[in-house]
Copies of this chain bind each other. A is one copy, B any other.
Amino acid sequence: MSEPRADHIMQVGLGFWASKTLLSAVEMELFTELAKHPETLAELSARLRLHPRSARDFLDALVALNFLERRDGTYYNTPSTDLFLDKRKPSYIGGMLEMANVRLYRHWGNLTTGLRTGEPQNEVRSGEADPFQQIYADPERLRGFLRAMTGVSHGANMAIAQKFPFTGYKSAVDVGTAQGDLITQVALANPNIAGIGFDLPVVAPVFEDYVAANNLNGRVKFQPGSFWDDPIPNADVVMMGHILHDWDLEQKRMLIRKTYDAIPKGGALVIYESIIDDDRSKNSFGLLMSLNMLIETPGGFDYTGADCTGWMKEAGFHSTRVEHLVGPDSMVIGIK
């Protein structure tokens, strides 16, 4: 490292400026608008109802942050914002950012209190209604939420479908399947696999539409149930993505034991999310995600590959390994 840099400190410390600017752009559906056709400052201002005072600064800040391009006074999406932030494309990942904008940004304002009390700092803290209960009670919001979950996991789902050796297995179940993108990608890439998506009954119609849209009706089925109240469906490969970090240590161990019971000898458990590196010094996203579990849950936390393989071995899995997927995500594999 050369001379210490003050501007890196300021850039991260004031990083909420760039973050909130992008979140407001997603909220206003700026990228969805520009995916229809490039527009000038005047056209965009009218379309998004921007006051003239700061409209140009807002759009040019997004240019400088590489989320827009501007040529001859006309604003265009970049290839990546066009692909990932156009709400009408299936590749949209803005759902998570919409939630961050409406909820998490505000709740993270109470991080210091969370760190000092160990208590969640979301709606629960202020006695507001549980947002997830509300989401699950409203079919349209539920569909949006489950689609958002697909958005944030799609890249990793594709990687698992390619990288995990499904050859030799006949069945796979995705526990907490949501819209079903993981089991869909696995089934599309591995014609030998019969798939089950396991989630609460209310998820069924959203799952079934998605599977039908991918022409997998015969081979991928929904099984309603709760991974707390019901046994996990039997399958050669049990997969759990972005589930385990929601829960405390005892709950994590119990879930892994339940999956063990669902798997035949020689079968596999695949757990994936933003697995923290064993030295806990590199995967900043995984460590920050764990602080997000502090904000959002009573006892959840993220964990390292070594933590997870340890729990797997306790449950009886005889061989384990960790494999990187994409970005901050890895999968932890246990073989029974």
Interface residues of A (CB under 8 A from B): 1, 4-24, 26-28, 49-58, 60-61, 63-67, 70, 78-85, 93, 96-97, 100, 104-106, 108-109, 111-112, 114-118, 152, 155, 276, 280-285, 287-288, 290-292, 294, 299, 301-302, 326-328
Contact = CB atoms under 8 A, between A and B. Distances in A.
Given A23-B13, A79-B4, A282 B61 contact: no
Residue picked from A1, A56, A108, most chain B C-beta under 10 Å: A108
Given A16-B19, A64-B281, A283-B64, A24 B111 contact: yes
Nearest to A292: B17
A280 B15 contact: no
B11 A285 contact: yes
Given A8-B80, A15-B15, A284 B53 contact: no
A14 B104 CA distance: 9
A9 B66 CA distance: 10
A16 B13 contact: no
Contact of A112 (B28, B61, B79): B28
A86 to B, nearest CB: 12
Given A24-B112, A54-B118, A281 B63 contact: yes
Contacts of A7: 155, 326-328
A24 B108 CA distance: 10
Residue picked from A4, A16, A61, most chain B C-beta under 10 Å: A16
Contacts of A51: 115-118
The binding surface of chain A is classed by DSSP as helix
A152 B84 CA distance: 36
Contacts of A104: 14, 16
B20 A280 contact: no
Given A4-B80, A9-B85, A50-B116, 20 more contacts: A7-B155, A9-B97, A11-B285, A13-B97, A13-B100, A16-B108, A17-B292, A18-B288, A20-B108, A21-B288, A24-B112, A49-B116, A51-B116, A52-B118, A53-B294, A54-B115, A57-B301, A63-B280, A64-B283, A106-B109
B54 A291 contact: yes
B57 A287 contact: yes
